[in-house]
């Protein structure tokens, strides 16, 4: 991996880290409780996600994380993952034929 590629990975990591810090600052300033994926969903528990700064930060986190995954995963695995996420709407027997090739 080239130094440029490592710099890009670090930059993506920095975007994620600074976005987490932004969320933490908003949570602290507003006495929010940031919801855990393990907590019960309710409109009240999701209130922090409606804050504009948190919305922006979570958007940056998810985008940077997706780019990070794409950059570190070997290309053939990315192609396989992408191809298995597509539903062609074909009958079951055609899916089996496609998998056999």
CA distances from residue 42 to 46, 51, 54 in whole angstroms, order as listed: 6, 16, 18
Residue 12 in domain: yes
Residue 48 in domain: yes
Residue 99 CA neighbour count, 13 Å, CB half? 9
Residue 101 in domain: no
Which range is least confidently modeled, 13-22, 36-45, 46-55, 89-98?
A: 89-98
More confident site: 9 or 99: 9
Residue 32's nearest CA partner among 8, 9, 57, 13 is 57
Residue 83 in domain: no
Domain limits for position 60: 3-74
Task: Count how many domains the chain has.
Answer: 1
Residue 22 in domain: yes
The span from the first CA to the last CA of the chain, in angstroms, equals 33
Residue 31 in domain: yes
Residue 25 in domain: yes
State yes or no: pLDDT of 91 exceeds 70.
Answer: no
Residue 85 in domain: no
**Is the Cα torsion angle 18, 24, 27, 33 positive or negative in sign?**
positive
């Amino acid at each position: 991996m080239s130094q440029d590629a490592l710099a890009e990975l670090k930059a993506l990591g920095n975007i994620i880290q600074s976005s987490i810090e932004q969320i933490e600052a908003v949570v602290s300033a507003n006495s929010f409780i940031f919801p855990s994926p393990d907590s019960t969903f309710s409109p009240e528990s999701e209130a922090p996600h409606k804050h504009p700064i948190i919305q922006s930060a979570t958007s940056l986190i998810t985008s940077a994380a997706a780019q990070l995954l794409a950059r570190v995963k070997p290309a053939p695995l990315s192609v396989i993952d992408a191809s298995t996420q597509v539903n062609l709407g074909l009958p079951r027997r055609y899916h089996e034929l496609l998998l056999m090739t």
